[in-house]
Amino acid sequence: MKTPKDSPMLRFLMVLTISSMVGLQGWRTLFNNFAVEVAHLEGYHVGVIQSVREIPGFLALLAVYVMLVLREHRLSAVSIVVLGGGVALTGLFPSYLGLLATTLVLSFGFHYYETTNQSLTLQYFDRHTAPVVFGKLRSLSAASNVGVGIGILVLSSILSYRQMYLIIGGLTIAAGIWGLGRDPTDETVIPQRKQMVLRREYLLFYFLTFMSGARRQIFVAFSVFLLVKIFEFSVQEITTLFLINNIINYFVSPLIGQAIVRFGERPVLSLEYSSLIFIFLVYAFTRSKIVVALMYILDHIFFNFSIAIRTYFQKIGDPQDIAPSMAMGFTINHIAAVVIPVIGGALWMVDYKIPFVAGAVMSFVSLVAVQWIPSGSSRVRREG
């Protein structure tokens, strides 16, 4: 197997990962302020839009069937083009229904790329290098987000939301078109099953993936909305926070991959969920603008620990199950994610603290479940 630096697949995934983050982070950075200031949406509207954003993730298992007619790396590039198109259209439709439609389009692109990205990484890099590659890609994602943050910080005073969305979406589309002209595949890589896979021996992987999606959506749907709605962060303050957060994650993400290789999945995930219990409770009860901003940064750092769920699967799973299992994992991840933002949005209207307390409870359940990961057996992949 080639080293990561020599791998055409790594170069391919690096470019497309950077472009996916440019598109998604640009959309995300502007979205809450755009939704409040231009579209005049409330918490319930934002919750519904975030739920719609997760529908393509719920349908990620269909990627297995798309790959019957479209090779996996081609699907990656097409997904980036779709993502960029959805972002470019966002600023043209500043309404509740308009944001529902454009969010659905860009989300199909993002989630299908993420499915193939995870699958290709686990296929092309062994269990000693895959965590490092995941960490490297997360680091590049953070660097991309820094670039987007600086760009928005500079341009937000001279360009409209519509113009910024068009520029970000156009750049993303261009990268996807580049990917369509590349073939980074290696014929020696084990072929993947072109059907859905659901196995009893993967039950812990499925459960951890489900819980990760459930508690993660509370953060995605409501953390930045909390900053804007309750703590009155401006678009410049939000962008500055994103910038600081991603500079930190650029340096931290590779260390997380190395920690997984050195210590294993159970200690890393235990640390993640223990920390998230604290972070969610602080979100709910702090009155400090500085403290809530710090919690946002810490939350992002610990989110990167979740790559250990996928590397755990790589060590126990059949090599032919990687692509269908990553697709199945995305679907399982998004079962709760489709409904939680809507429920959370309704609960927000009662008391904004409730969704974050629920996130702390979910993190505790995940912490308990992680203790079922055997400390030794995850080091040897099941071959039969």
Helix (H) or strand (E) holding 327: helix 322-350
CA distance 232 to 39: 17
Which pLDDT belongs to residue 379?
Answer: 44
Q: Cβ(190)–Cβ(383) under 8 Å?
A: no
55 Cβ contact partners less than 8 Å away, ≥ 6 residues apart: 104, 107, 334, 338
Using CA atoms, how far residue 288 sits from 218, 220, 293, 313, 355, in Å, is 20, 20, 9, 40, 18
51 Cβ contact partners less than 8 Å away, ≥ 6 residues apart: 221, 337, 338, 339, 340, 341, 342
Nearest CA to 84 out of 49, 110, 58 is that of 110
Which pLDDT belongs to residue 384?
Answer: 36
Provide the token pair at 114: 């993420």
**Positions of the chain with pLDDT under 70:** 1-6, 337-338, 376-384
Please identify, in words, the CATH class of the domain defined by 4-379. Answer: mainly alpha
Which pLDDT belongs to residue 2?
Answer: 47
Query: What's the pTM value of the predicted model, to 2 decimals?
Result: 0.81
Half-sphere exposure of residue 382: CA atoms within 13 angstroms, side-chain side: 13
CA distance 370 to 276: 14
CA torsion, ordered 322, 23, 60, 221, to nearest 10 deg = 110
Cα 343 to chain centroid, rounded:
21
**Alpha helix locations (H) across 7-42?**
8-37
Residue type at position 100 = L
User: Percentages helix, strand, coil for the chain, rounded to the nearest 5?
Assistant: 80, 0, 20
Residue type at position 247 = I
Give me the residue spans of the domains in the chain.
Answer: 4-379
What are the pLDDT digits (tens) for 4-60?
Answer: 566 899 999 999 999 999 999 899 888 988 888 888 887 778 878 877 887 888 888
Which pLDDT belongs to residue 326?
Answer: 87
Helix 8-37 crosses helix 130-155 at what angle (to 10 degrees)? 40
CA distance 270 to 11: 32
Which pLDDT belongs to residue 69?
Answer: 85
What are the pLDDT digits (tens) for 330-380?
Answer: 888 878 766 777 788 888 888 989 999 999 999 999 999 999 988 754 444
